[in-house]
Structure 1
């Protein structure tokens, strides 16, 4: 974690253990690039408190290389690996390439297979405009798949949660410079208001800060937690990627 915030965390323990004493969730991004052993996931799960949850990004082999087609084998491998997290597994994140259009047959078939294989939460971050249409919203809702609320938003509708309304998942990539910029105080105020409102309505909600390139995510997440003091504002994670020990 950044040296500027080191005193905001316990002094002892591994990076993940210290992180988990301040935040109650993390999004594992490294799974997008390479597989991890079941024993590795189990080790991470054992290092955190019982309430802590891991969101895990679905591999790019499935999303970017096979583009949701002929993906049964890599999907089965991935699901077998993340089973090592046990009950600490949170949502699976399906982030799609900007060029991937919503083709009804291929996309619907994959999403149906994914839902049959996954009893827990699924969130989707599409980035092509064709995914932001009423018929696609209906597909996601029927399959209980939430659509990510993203910033910056590739299309205006992407800034708000969509799909299944039983879960909200904010992925905040930094603005105006994606992955780098810290959020202004007024933007963090607005984020906290949204999270608190979702919690009051009984909706499970996540907030992932992905502006990690210059370590802004940790500060933004800590500031958001302060704004949510006295509220159960949902799962807040200070990075869109796993800590370095992951």
Structure 2
């Protein structure tokens, strides 16, 4: 069986009361979270900058295998709308590079009103590619980003397109762009950010992740339904489902597979650079 990398996490590392038994003390919430999960997405960076020293402190508080995704500021994506933002990106990168080798993905979430304009998109992603080797994933929400031209532009620049739930258009439910990284973001439905996912939805998500991993992609799954405190519980359930779906039976006498070693949160090592 080939090596398959499949990682589960949440947006932020808050631990609601209902999940405390799964993340025992001592330690900060991030320390406790990182003893179980191998990845996390920092989304507070969308709203406000964090000092480089803060990122350095976060990096020191997690295991060596742990990796971060960081969401780009809204000043870049929503205010300047990807145009003329070289200075803002430089400042952001100077901050997040405090994570060192534990920085693995940068998330570019676009406003629903931002349509695909080839010149703007190519200008931004070309500029970003010259400034950082960190992998990029883009979550567009305007329907024009799900046409073939946009997908080809992203793939050519090694930018993965997020698979989102709820999906603004049907194509948004599946990963696109650069095929080596499949990045899923589940925001909660029917009430975005608040709703708990039912068992049927979680089984569908785990199936999507398993299929993406089988295709050879590195797979990240992030639960963003944090407002009601459901993200962590959903992540724990999907983690179990994926193990049951993808891990070979130990009775075969083959020992631990490459996928088992990669998936296990204490051994997982998501790539920190583009590969």
TM-score, length of structure 1 as denominator length: 0.92
Residue number in structure 2 paired with 1:244: none
Residue number in structure 2 paired with 1:9: 23
The alpha carbon displacement at 1:235 in A equals 9.7
User: Contact 1:172 / 1:210 at 8 angstroms: preserved in 2?
Assistant: yes
Summarize deviations over 1:38-96 as a string: whole Å, max 9, x none: 11101000100111111000011101111111100000000111110011001100000
Q: Give the whole-Å Cα distance in 2 for the aligned partners of 1:210 and 1:133.
A: 26
The alpha carbon displacement at 1:97 in A equals 0.4
Larger Rg computed on CA atoms: 2
Distance 1:198 1:235, change over 3 A: farther
More relative contact order, 1 or 2 (CA 8 Å, 6+ apart): 2
Q: Give the whole-Å Cα distance in 1 for the aligned partners of 2:91 and 2:231.
A: 31
The alpha carbon displacement at 1:11 in A equals 1.9
Residue number in structure 2 paired with 1:209: 223
Q: Where does the alignment leave 5 or more consecutive residues of structure 2 unmatched?
A: 1-14, 248-258, 266-275
User: Contact 1:205 / 1:234 at 8 angstroms: preserved in 2?
Assistant: no
1:22 counterpart SS class: coil
Residue number in structure 1 paired with 2:112: 98
- Correspondence list, 1:133-172, <5 A: 133-172=147-186
User: How many pairs align?
Assistant: 236
Q: Give the whole-Å Cα distance in 2 for the aligned partners of 1:203 and 1:52.
A: 19
1:5 counterpart SS class: helix
TM-score, length of structure 2 as denominator length: 0.83
User: Alignment partner for residue 63 of structure 2, among 10, 24, 49?
Assistant: 49
Summarize deviations over 1:214-239 as a string: whole Å, max 9, x none: 10101100111111236448699xxx
Summarize deviations over 1:90-124 as a string: whole Å, max 9, x none: 11000000001111212211111112212121000
Q: Where does the alignment leave 5 or more consecutive residues of structure 1 unmatched?
A: 237-246
Q: Give the whole-Å Cα distance in 2 for the aligned partners of 1:50 and 1:36.
A: 22
Indicate the RMSD between aligned Cα atoms, in angstroms: 1.5
